[in-house]
Amino acid sequence: MRRGPPSPSSRGAPDPVGCRRTRATEADAARDAVSGGRRSRRRRGGSRGGHAFDRSVRGEPVYTVRVSRRFIAQHFLTVPDPGPEGELHSHRFEVDVAVAGPELNEHDYLVDIDELAGRVDELVDEYADATLNDRPRFEGYNPSVERFARVFCERLLEGIGTDGIETATVTMWEDEAAAASYETAVGE
């Protein structure tokens, strides 16, 4: 039996056939009720039509390439009154990296998955068995799972070709039930 984070379908993601109502759509409905249904029409990506998530919501095709890895790292929280999380402790992290864009290149790739996987492996090797608090990108910050997702995403994009990528998302699972994601537009 697979141990680790729940599958995307058990996390409330839309099923491939229908679109069941998820917490996100319920939150959208609540926001619409408060705002009278008005939503920002600000577009990212200039004339290309916004980032990949916006495209998929509008029914436009989007390619997504994912790479996942597991590793163990340590940290301690530095917020006031962190409770037991203020002590050095380990997590069995799972990082899920997703890059998305609307078009394939001349090789019918969105990205070279080997290049993407290689960069993810480099970062995992750097953070595996390390204390996050001691890493330069966490200096002056609380090494929360949210911060870790952002740092991992930023470092990832520094080391790969981003042509064709409109969004990058890193989801960092710190255990089977808790994760944080960081998504950013790329190549604007």
Residues 90 and 70 in one domain: yes
Please report the pLDDT score of residue 187 as a whole number: 76
Residues 73 and 117 in one domain: yes
- The per-residue pLDDT of the chain, averaged, comes to 80
Domain count for the chain, please give it: 2
- φ and ψ at 40, to 5 degrees? -65, 140
Residues 32 and 91 in one domain: no
Residues 30 and 113 in one domain: no
**How many Å apart are CA 29 and CA 149, to the nearest integer?**
27
**How many Å apart are CA 108 and CA 124, to the nearest integer?**
27
pTM: 0.71
More confidently predicted of 45 and 123: 123
Residues 80 and 166 in one domain: yes
**How many Å apart are CA 154 and CA 120, to the nearest integer?**
12
More confidently predicted of 18 and 98: 98
pLDDT tens digits, 140-157: 999 999 999 999 999 999
* Domain containing residue 26: 1-39
**Beta strands 63-75; 89-101: pairing state:** antiparallel
